[in-house]
Structure 1
Amino acid sequence: MPPFSIVVAADQTSGIGLGGDLPWRLRKDMAHFLRLTSTVPRHGSQNDTAIAPAADFSTQTDHGVQRINACIMGRKTWESIPKKFRPLSGRFNVIVSHDPHYLAGEPEQLDPMVVSATSFEAALDLVQSLQASSGPAISDRPSIQIERVFLIGGSQLYSEGIESKECKYIFLTRIHATVECDAFFPEINGSEYTLLSAEEARSVLEEYTQQILETTAVEEGRYSYEYTVYRRN
Structure 2
Amino acid sequence: MSSSVAPGEWTEPVRGIGMVWARSTNGVIGADGAIPWHIPEDLAHFRQVTGDATVVMGRRTWESLPERFRPLPGRRNVVLTRDDAWRAAGAEVAHDLATALDTDERVWIIGGGAVYTEGMAFADRVSETVIDVEVSGDTTAPDFDDAWTLVDEGPWQESRNGGTRYRFLEWRRRA
TM range (shorter): 0.7 to 0.9
Supply the distance in 2 between the matched residues of 1:187 and 1:89 (Cα, whole angstroms): 30
Residue 150 (structure 2) pairs with residue 195 (structure 1) = yes
Higher helix proportion, which one? 1
Shift of 1:197: 3.8
Q: Secondary structure at the match of 1:7?
A: strand
1:3 is matched with which residue: 13, 16, 31? 16
**One-letter amino acid of the counterpart of residue 29, structure 1:** D
Alignment partner, residue 169 of structure 2:
228
1:18-29 alignment to 2 at 5 Å?
18-29=31-42
Supply the distance in 2 between the matched residues of 1:37 and 1:7 (Cα, whole angstroms): 8
Alignment partner, residue 14 of structure 1:
27
Q: Indicate conservation of the 8 Å contact 2:152/2:171, yes or no.
A: no
**One-letter amino acid of the counterpart of residue 74, structure 2:** G
Shift of 1:216: 4.7
Name structure 2 gaps, 5 residues minimum.
Answer: 1-14
Q: Secondary structure at the match of 1:32?
A: helix
- Deviation digits for residues 101-127 of structure 1 (CA, Å, limit 9, x no counterpart): 210xx4x0xx4xx201011111112xx
Task: Flag as ranges the 4+ runs of structure 1 deviating above 6 A.
Answer: none
Q: Secondary structure at the match of 2:111?
A: coil
**One-letter amino acid of the counterpart of residue 230, structure 1:** W
Alignment partner, residue 117 of structure 1:
94
Alignment partner, residue 64 of structure 2:
80
Alignment partner, residue 174 of structure 1:
130
Name structure 1 gaps, 5 residues minimum.
Answer: 39-67, 132-145, 199-214
Are the structure 2 counterparts of residues 194 and 158 from structure 1 closer, same or farther at C-alpha, using a change threshold of 3 Å? Answer: same
Residue 70 (structure 2) pairs with residue 70 (structure 1) = no
**Larger deviation, residues 78-87 vs 216-225:** 216-225
**One-letter amino acid of the counterpart of residue 84, structure 1:** R
**One-letter amino acid of the counterpart of residue 171, structure 1:** S
Alignment partner, residue 209 of structure 1:
none
Give TM-score scaled by structure 2 length.
Answer: 0.85
1:30 is matched with which residue: 43, 63, 86? 43
Q: Indicate conservation of the 8 Å contact 1:216/1:228, yes or no.
A: no
Aligned length: 158
Supply the distance in 1 between the matched residues of 2:95 and 2:109 (Cα, whole angstroms): 15
Residue 157 (structure 2) pairs with residue 218 (structure 1) = yes
State the superposition RMSD in angstroms: 1.4
Give TM-score scaled by structure 1 length.
Answer: 0.65
- Deviation digits for residues 188-228 of structure 1 (CA, Å, limit 9, x no counterpart): 11x11011243xxxxxxxxxxxxxxxx65321124101000
Alignment partner, residue 92 of structure 1:
76
